[in-house]
Amino acid sequence: MKVITTIKEMQTEIKQQKSEGKSIGFVPTMGYLHEGHLTLIKQARQENDIVVLSIFVNPLQFGPTEDFSTYPRDFERDRALAECEHVDYIFHPTVKEMYPTEPSVKVIVQARTDVLCGKSRPGHFDGVATVVSKLFHIVMPTRAYFGKKDAQQVAVIEGLVSDLNFPLEVVAVDIVREEDGLAKSSRNVNLLPEERKQAVVLYKSLQEAKRAIDQGERNPNSLIILMNEMIMSNSSGVVDYAEIYSYPQLKPLEKLEGKIIIALAVKFTKVRLIDNLILDIE
């Protein structure tokens, strides 16, 4: 496994690999790897000749009041995990390498962002789309792997790739959960012990909503009230949003039908957690 820190060297390596006909699987991350990431890496490993993992905490996608500086980092641990998973290259640039000067261009996202996480994080998805565009040009993947946990991110990336005709395939991978159902996340380490126990309420609320749908409920508002009540009574977390949209268009629905997403964000003391469920309703 090679650790590469410069854009030029990464591009040179990839061009060499591609000239030999190798397929490239790419897993872009902000590091502090957990099993969710490892699932993406495993799938990339199965489906490609070469696997590239990027580890870069992208300042562009954090708002001024957000957790860029406290976002957890542990490169040596990440490196060991990547080695175990037979990653071929870790791309681990500095902020200076990625943004050497004030950029003259950026990629902006003008749809699918005014709901869910996008609503409370203005500019976040512009930062994501810009860094992902850069990384796609640096790693030139055949396939790029994203977790469905950030379902809005998947919807945005699919729009980016399709609208700008990036020559690659976006692979969306199912959410990986802790034993109790909590979706895995780098940010879970910032939960207080008591909050960690309560945090399963996100998953349980989604399951409760699914049960209601299975029993015939088709009114999104009833489900939203149900989930809000469950979260309020079972945790100290504050609901940031509990929303239901068509997927991947992320448009509001009067009545549940077709492919939908039920999505939650809940704020705890030092961390905000998200979870979602994508369902196909007949």
Q: In whole angstroms, what is the distance from residue 263 CA to residue 248 CA? A: 12
Listed ranges 45-53, 64-72, 130-138, 225-233: which one lies at the site for a second copy (CB under 8 A): 130-138
Q: Which of 3, 66, 71, 107 contacts a second copy by CB under 8 A?
A: 107
Residue 227 CB, shortest distance to a second copy, in Å, is 27
147 is in an annotated binding site: yes
60 is in an annotated binding site: no
Q: In whole angstroms, what is the distance from residue 125 CA to residue 184 CA? A: 21
Residue 167 CB, shortest distance to a second copy, in Å, is 5
One-letter amino acid at 165 equals N
Q: In whole angstroms, what is the distance from residue 2 CA to residue 74 CA? A: 17
Q: In whole angstroms, what is the distance from residue 120 CA to residue 175 CA? A: 22
Contact flag: residue 138 with a second copy (CB under 8 A):
yes
Q: In whole angstroms, what is the distance from residue 198 CA to residue 257 CA? A: 31
Q: 140: which 2 tokens? A: 């030139």
Of 207, 115, 209, which Cα lies nearest the Cα of 153? 115
Residue 171 CB, shortest distance to a second copy, in Å, is 18
Contact flag: residue 104 with a second copy (CB under 8 A):
yes
Q: In whole angstroms, what is the distance from residue 85 CA to residue 6 CA? A: 23
Task: Tell me the per-residue interface mask from 7 to 46 with a second copy, x by CB under 8 A, - otherwise.
Answer: x---x---x--xx-x-------------------------
Of 173, 229, 243, which Cα lies nearest the Cα of 201? 229
Segment 228 to 267, residues that bind a second copy, using CB under 8 A: none
Listed ranges 55-63, 108-116, 178-186, 251-259: which one lies at the site for a second copy (CB under 8 A): 108-116
Residue 28, φ and ψ in degrees, nearest 5: -80, 130
Residues annotated as part of the active site: 37
Binding-site residue numbers for beta-alanine are 61
Binding-site residue numbers are 30-37, 61, 147-150, 153, 176, 184-187
Which residues in this chain contact a second copy in the complex, by CB under 8 A?
7, 11, 15, 18-19, 21, 102-112, 129-130, 133-134, 137-138, 140, 156, 159-160, 163-167
